Amino acid sequence: MFIDRAVIEVRSGKGGDGAIAFLREKYVPKGGPAGGNGGRGGSVYFRANKAINTLFNFRHSKTFIANDGEKGGIKNQYGKYAEDVIVDVPIGTVIFEEKDHVFLGDLNEEGKMIRVAKGGRGGRGNSCFKSSTNRVPKIAENGEPGERKRLILELKLLADVGLVGFPSVGKSTLLSVVSAARPEIADYPFTTIVPNLGVVSVKDGSSFVMADLPGLIEGAHQGKGLGLQFLRHIERCRLIVHVIDLSNTGRDPYEDYKIINNELEAYCFALEKRPQIIVASKMDEEGAEERLKALKKKIKQEIIPISAITEEGIDTLLYKCSALLKETPAFPLFDEEKEELDHKTYTLEEEEPFFTVERIKQHVWNIGGEKMLKFYKMTNISTDEGMMLLMSKIRSLRIDDVLENMGAEDGDTVILDDFEFEYVR
């Protein structure tokens, strides 16, 4: 079976806890703080890999787990970072978080990677905090927890041209005539339940990928027939070839045409705006010419008559496809620009941000902002409790994430008024 949807779980690792320790060396009367930072927990990434074709391996609700970061050590030793987990999926996999169906990314290019669960930051050990009022702090941060998410993976085919139409209109037959694909062909509806792909070489030297898609019926956008499954695939096609059966089906070809177009419109991706080539199939059948004449009166657009048996019209159709593809851009499914990270959100949310971050020289950063400075002044960091309160504020404001986005490196110094601490990756 062709699996094109899977629900899985991912868990990133927790950051290692920071350590509390003090130097006690023989000739150093008052040893300073020496607790190291915890290491970052592993993240989980998904990567598009052309060697994988289906989501078959994900069928039994799998879980991908990255390890936790190591705890910080006593003599200022850093805890080890946990390895990231990279999961390879087919090109064309789109990832959503199950909760609220939040879009996480579209793996539409070989090698593209998306982080789906971020490893927790390591906690700072007590050697990270430097203040004139609290020289020997006995506090450390715990590592940040990892994330746990349930994800929906959907594979959408990457075809240039999608064949659309009622069941049994001859879509698979057409694909078998123009490419090396060997889809199943039969005169009962819904012969094709999974799309077949074929590479079409046109005599002008161009080539494109054509997909024969499962037949569509009225109500498909609500899940009738193979409805939604089918529509999911066609989202990927740049060009639609709409096949109308002109043999004696007992149906009205123009009604067929309208029903299919209504279904495309009812599905939310504005499919009806894509270029569409209209094909009249089975022209070798009796009465087809008359039905074509009648149809031409009702449809203003050009109709290309074809027969898979006599091969009438096939070349005309392929030239038309290749010409239209040349002028049709790919359709992005989502505007990925809009999906950026935390620190953009913080500037958007607040008119006057709680804090600002500024790079004052290489590896040194300054935190400012009226509200932040006020909070700092009101927090008594000469006590360990006060310092802990300040650090949890810094964490809840996600200042480390902002530093990360601005390019801070592990071990950089962060200054907040007369208090200093280390940036931890």
Ligand X SMILES: Nc1nc2c(ncn2[C@@H]2O[C@H](COP(=O)(O)OP(=O)(O)OP(=O)(O)O)[C@@H](O)[C@H]2O)c(=O)[nH]1
Residues 217-256: x/- map of binding to Mg ion (CB under 5 A)?
A: ----------------------------------------
Give the Cα separation of 226 and 224 in Å (integer). 6
Q: CA quadruple 144, 145, 146, 152: dihedral positive or negative?
A: negative
Give the nearer residue to ligand X in terms of CB position, either 281 or 379: 281
Under 8 Å CB-to-CB from 40, ≥6 apart: which residues?
13, 15, 16, 69, 81, 82, 119, 120, 121, 122, 424, 425
Which of 76, 134, 196, 307 is the binder for ligand X (CB under 6 A)? 307
Q: Minimum Å distance from CB 172 to ligand X?
A: 3
Q: Does 172 sit near Mg ion (CB under 5 A)?
A: yes
On whether the CB atoms of residues 12 and 151 are closer than 8 A, the answer is: no
- 80: number of Cβ within 10 Å: 16
Which structure tokens are listed for 217? Answer: 């019926």
User: Which listed range, 135-143, 303-311, 334-342, 353-361, lies at the site for ligand X (CB under 6 A)?
Assistant: 303-311
Determine if 281 is a binding residue for Mg ion (CB under 5 A): no
How would you class 112 by CB atoms within 10 Å of its CB: exposed for 0-12, middle for 13-18, buried for 19 or more?
middle
Answer yes or no whether residue 322 interacts with Mg ion by CB under 5 A: no
* Residue closest to 121 by CA, chosen among 86, 44, 69: 69
171 binding ligand X? (CB under 6 A): yes
Closest approach, Cβ 228 to Mg ion, in A, equals 18
| Among 49, 134, 172, 229, contact with ligand X (rule: CB under 6 A) | 172
List 199, 309, 330, 406, residue binding ligand X (CB under 6 A): 309
Cβ nearer to ligand X, comparing 171 with 242: 171
Q: How far is the C-alpha of 22 from the C-alpha of 30, rounded, in Å?
A: 9
Q: Is 282 in the site for ligand X (CB under 6 A)?
A: yes
**Nearest approach, Cβ of 323 to ligand X (angstroms)?**
23
Q: How many helices (H) and strands (E) does the chain have?
A: 9, 19
Stretch that binds Mg ion, among 42-50, 165-173, 217-225, 276-284 (CB under 5 A): 165-173
The region of 12-20, 43-51, 144-152, 185-193 touching Mg ion under the rule CB under 5 A is 185-193
CA–CA separation, 174 vs 306, rounded Å?
A: 9
Answer for which of 37, 43, 127, 192 binds Mg ion (CB under 5 A) is 192
d(CA 423, CA 425): 6
Q: Which residues bind Mg ion (CB under 5 A)?
A: 171-172, 191-192
Q: Which residues bind ligand X (CB under 6 A)?
A: 167-173, 185-187, 189-192, 212, 214-215, 281-282, 284-285, 307-309
